[in-house]
Amino acid sequence: MIELLAPPLTRWLLYGGVLLLGGVATWRTLIAPGAAARLDADGPDQVGGLEPRVAAVAAAASLLLLVVWGLRLYVQLLGFRDPFAPLSEDLAFLVYETFWGTVWMVQGGLLGLLAAGFALTARRGAVSVPARVEWGSPEPPSPLPRRWRLLNTGVVALVATVALSSHAMSVPASVPLAVALDGAHTLAGGAWIGSLALILWVGRGPTLAAQLRAFSPVAMVSVGILVFAGFILATQHVMAWENLWGSPYGRVLLLKVGVAGSVMAMGAWNWRRGLPTLDTPSGAAATRRRAWLEVAAAALVLAVTAWLTGMSMPEGTH
């Protein structure tokens, strides 16, 4: 039973944690400055007061991912294990002499650095987040603090390690393109669902409304990138349209597309009906409930993805 459940569970936790960290990077880079601009004169301080909580969430997610990182080695060893060879020999070969092992070690180092960096950022306490300067303003935009530039770079590198151990590596005709698209797909998912979950967790009252309004254009662009990258990756993975309904991989992929489409529909409904009502207590509460349902449905998409990535692609695609 453990052998059956451990692989998809670890992948689901990995994807969820990475998307949340992507949401943290997006929040500090795009959403927090946009929210500060939508509040009163003390907006930068109000939004800045959320930064320690956001960093604490990111530190906790990084620590959880470190646990998942260790479990991934166990899961990989289960599938790699030669019953006639010593365990230590199999373990050493897997970690030190395979590309998977190299990526796995880099991933662990990144997670350790991110956990420490986010924890230190959380301990710094509240700060002031400069409001985003409107396009065309003579005032130059405020640069992102160096610590956040470093943390964001670490998150992007972490996403790259996930792409380098995905199905994208099984498309030999265009591995660099497939890896880049897989990374863009993950980053866009983090900017959409990771950011939304974070906003719902830390936002209250006026800051919730301001963050959701700043999040809305980011979500639209992210969904566009998700659809584009997902379509290209799907064509690379199934190769022929008949493989969509004629192979187990294709049918699970169609299931993923269907569930993801429902999440997008929920997001569009909340954007159209929820944003105009955010300034009333009842409207904000209803929007918040619908947004949490959107996040829950996205978690189901990740579960299907975790199942899908453990399957073999149709013959002739690799």
Q: How far, in Å, CA of 89 to CA of 96, rounded?
A: 11
Q: Report the b/e string of 9-25 with b at 16+ CB within 10 A.
A: bbbbbbbbbbbbbbbbb
Q: Among residues of the chain, what percentage have pLDDT more than 70? A: 92
Residue ranges with strand state E in the chain: none
Q: How far is CA 219 from CA 65, 114, 187, 194, 224, in A?
A: 25, 25, 12, 10, 9
Mean pLDDT for the stretch of residues 8-23: 96
Q: Which residues of 276-308 are buried (b: 16+ CB within 10 A; e: fewer)?
A: eebeeeebbebbbeebeebbebbbebbbbbbbb
With tokens 């500060």, the residue in question is: 36
| pLDDT computed for residue 59 by the predictor | 98
More confident site: 195 or 233: 195
Amino acid, single-letter form, for residue 80: F
Whether pLDDT at 2 is above 60 = no
Average pLDDT, stretch 22-34? 96
Tell which residue, 80, 148, 69, 56, has the closest CA to residue 103. Answer: 69
Among 209, 193, 271, smallest CA distance to 35 is for 209
